[in-house]
């Protein structure tokens, strides 16, 4: 593990616990036993931590949804796989997920604009699955935008309560979420 990775990992942990703005370069430095100024031998600045993390996870998610569309499935299967990939990506590094879900707002103006664009594109991929399901006659005639936002809300919130040593594994969470989203709470 390079020193840079060590710094990044420590920073992400602190930022998840205290928030991005509340985590100072001095906090990060002392957590890896060095002075704040020394961090600049490894990273360009504080924002680099946020940028690399947000865009890194964005790329992982994009690859995940592309994989879903490459393989031919019906909408229900596509949705199940998309949910699975999303949950895998998010639970794989909860600290990074926190920045991705909550702290992207503090990106500088241009980076934030780029981020929002990629996020919207990702949302659109989900929405297309919902629309496909309707065209197949398998899904109800719901408002696709509304449904997609609701689905993604459920997925992104998993990072708030998932605990790696807990009693549910990512795979199981994804499966339950898929079940819930497809057929809801009510019996028949």
Helix (H) or strand (E) holding 75: helix 75-92
Q: At what angle do helices 109-135 and 46-70 cross, to 10 degrees?
A: 20
Work out whether 110 is an interface residue with a copy of itself (CB under 8 A).
Answer: no
Site mask for a copy of itself (CB under 8 A), range 69-108, x = bound: -------x--x----------------------x--xx--
Work out whether 156 is an interface residue with a copy of itself (CB under 8 A).
Answer: yes
CB atoms within 10 A of CB 151: 23
Binder of a copy of itself out of 140, 163, 164, 165 (CB under 8 A): 140
- Three-state secondary-structure class, residue 72: coil
Residue whose entry in the numeric block shows the structure tokens 């002392």 = 30
The site that binds a copy of itself (CB under 8 A) totals a number of residues, namely: 39
Handedness of CA 171, 79, 123, 177 (dihedral sign): negative
Work out whether 169 is an interface residue with a copy of itself (CB under 8 A).
Answer: no
Are 87 and 155 in contact by the 8 Å Cβ rule? The answer is yes
Contact positions toward DNA, by CB under 7 A? Answer: 3, 23-27, 29, 33-38, 40-42, 45-47
Binding site for a copy of itself (CB under 8 A): 19, 21-22, 76, 79, 102, 105-106, 130, 133, 137-140, 142-143, 146-147, 149-150, 152-154, 156-157, 160-161, 168, 173, 176-177, 180-187
């Amino acid at each position: 593990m390079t020193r840079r990775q060590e710094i990044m990992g420590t920073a992400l942990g602190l930022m998840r616990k205290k928030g991005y703005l509340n985590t100072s370069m001095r906090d990060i430095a002392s957590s890896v036993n060095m002075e704040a100024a020394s961090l600049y031998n490894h990273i360009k600045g504080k924002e680099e931590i946020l940028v690399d993390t947000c865009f890194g996870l964005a790329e992982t998610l994009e690859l995940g949804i592309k994989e879903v569309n490459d393989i031919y499935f019906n909408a229900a299967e596509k949705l199940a796989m998309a949910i699975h990939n999303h949950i895998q990506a998010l639970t794989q590094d909860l600290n990074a997920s926190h920045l991705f879900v909550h702290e992207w707002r503090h990106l500088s103006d241009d980076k934030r604009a780029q981020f929002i664009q990629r996020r919207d594109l990702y949302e659109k991929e989900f929405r297309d699955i919902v629309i496909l399901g309707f065209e197949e006659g398998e899904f109800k005639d719901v408002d696709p935008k509304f449904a997609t936002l609701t689905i993604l809300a459920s997925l992104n919130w998993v990072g708030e309560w998932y605990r790696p040593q807990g009693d549910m594994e990512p795979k199981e969470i994804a499966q339950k979420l898929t079940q819930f989203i497809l057929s809801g709470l009510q019996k028949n």
